[in-house]
Amino acid sequence: MASLARWDLLVLGGGPAGAATAALAAGAGARVLVVEREVFPRDKVCGEFLSAEALPLLGALGVEDALRAAGAVAIDTCRVSEPGGRTLEAPLPQPGLGVSRSLLDATLLDLARRRGARVWEGEEATEALREGGRVVGATVGRERHREVRASVVVAADGRRSLLARHLHAGLGDPARSTGATWFGFKTHRAGSGAVGSRVDLHVFRGGYAGLAAVEGGRTNVCLLATVRALAACGRRPEGLLAQVRRNPAAEEALRGTGEGARWHSIGPLRFGVRKPAAAGALFVGDAAGTIDPFAGEGMAHALLGARLAAPVALEAAQAGGLTDAAALRYGEAWSQAFAPATARAHRLARLLTRPLPATAAVLVLRALGTPAFARLVAHSRTTHA
């Protein structure tokens, strides 16, 4: 088994959390290696709405203008509808962007390269290297195994993170499904339909659909549904979409769009906080915790988590490893930044993804007026210092 030179940071995963962490650390002079299982660009299940909280970081990284120039869509309004088609619409506290994961992820990973990070695409970390109970690297490669060691390992490899499975598997996605287990589906439909500069959330029995325009004149359609709801629709995402379109508001939003790319799926899913640090390793993005997609905060959490993780990783690299005190500080900072929003989003989603409560909530908030809905939207979002 070949052994490679030691790195300051080994980043497992090249999505938004991993690529942004790598770009920030490499830009500060660290020797960074990113190991990414896929070859970019690639599509992924995601609502593809980037909330305003992440835009200053994209600007500081120097990629916001490039994303807008590539066609990312400004989104300034949110609309929620209950199954009967009654809607509630309000301006977002601050505009966000509709941008595909294919474009966003490739842009950020290219930035990490340009800042000096080494990137191995199409490579997979298969086993964590541990010494004295601490993670010191990973074995990389399916056929040609290579040991990669680093002062700090950053797990940014998503909700099925290698390190998360090894260190705290009980906090991850469930191993088995029941009728109430959640699965996610996503496709791009040709044409922007009537969504325009709005992000739509349409509730149906057993789940909801999120619609947002992205670059290329396309509409991203993301569905979250229980196994029970999927079974009732023939176990096919097309069946779920047909149920969504029985809602007049959803049908109006999708009118004019055509068949698009193939469906992508992920599941079974569990949402909530995991562990931001363990055994000398840092976790960012979905590896550290997953927020319910209803909040539209997943991509923002990944980028803002990278902003928290990068200075901790740099300090640890200079010290030769992550100390327990530094891990504790990072965990507390991560929890303070994201745990309250994760809990609020979970409660809000559980309320609004049930048809009868969703209908009641829409009616009550309509009676109170759109300012009340705007406050609800704002309260469900995370604020960051």
Residue 4: predicted pLDDT = 47
Number of domains in the chain: 2
Task: Indicate if the pLDDT at residue 362 is higher than 60.
Answer: no
59 within a domain of the structure (yes/no): no
Q: What is residue 86's predicted lDDT score, i.e. its pLDDT? A: 87
What's the pLDDT score for residue 270? 80
pTM of the prediction?
A: 0.90
Q: What is the CATH classification number for the domain harbouring 357?
A: 3.50.50.60
pLDDT for residue 360 is more than 70? no
Lowest mean pLDDT among 36-40, 69-73, 87-91, 198-202: 87-91
Q: What was the pLDDT predicted at 2? A: 44
The answer to whether position 58 is within a domain reads no
Examine the domain organization and report whether 84 and 155 are in the same domain.
no
Residue 121 CA to residue 123 CA, distance in Å, equals: 5
**Residue 384 — pLDDT band, cuts 50, 70, 90?**
very low
Residue 383: burial class (beta carbons within 10 Å; 0-12, 13-18, 19+):
exposed
Cα–Cα distance for residue pair 243/250, rounded to 1 Å: 10
140 and 248, same domain (yes or no): no
For residue 259, count CB atoms less than 10 angstroms from its CB and return exposed for 0-12, middle for 13-18, buried for 19 or more.
exposed
pLDDT in tens, 58-115: 999 999 999 999 999 999 998 988 888 988 888 888 899 999 999 999 999 999 999 9
Whether residue 81 lies inside any domain: the answer is yes
Report yes or no on 283 lying in a domain.
yes
Output the pLDDT for position 153.
Answer: 98
Provide the mean pLDDT of the chain: 87
Per the CB < 8 A criterion, the answer to whether 342 and 272 are in contact is yes
Q: How confident is the model at residue 368 (pLDDT cuts 50, 70, 90)?
A: very low
**Residue 384 resides in a domain:** no
| Residue numbers of the domain that contains 303 | 2-44+101-174+270-345
160, 45 in Cβ contact below 8 A? no
Q: Which of 368, 363, 357 is nearest to 87 (CA)?
A: 363
What's residue 372's pLDDT? 43
Mean pLDDT, rounded, for 160-188: 88
Plot region of 299 (φ>0 → left; ψ -120 to 50 → alpha; else → beta)? alpha
The band of 342, judged by pLDDT with boundaries at 50, 70 and 90, is confident
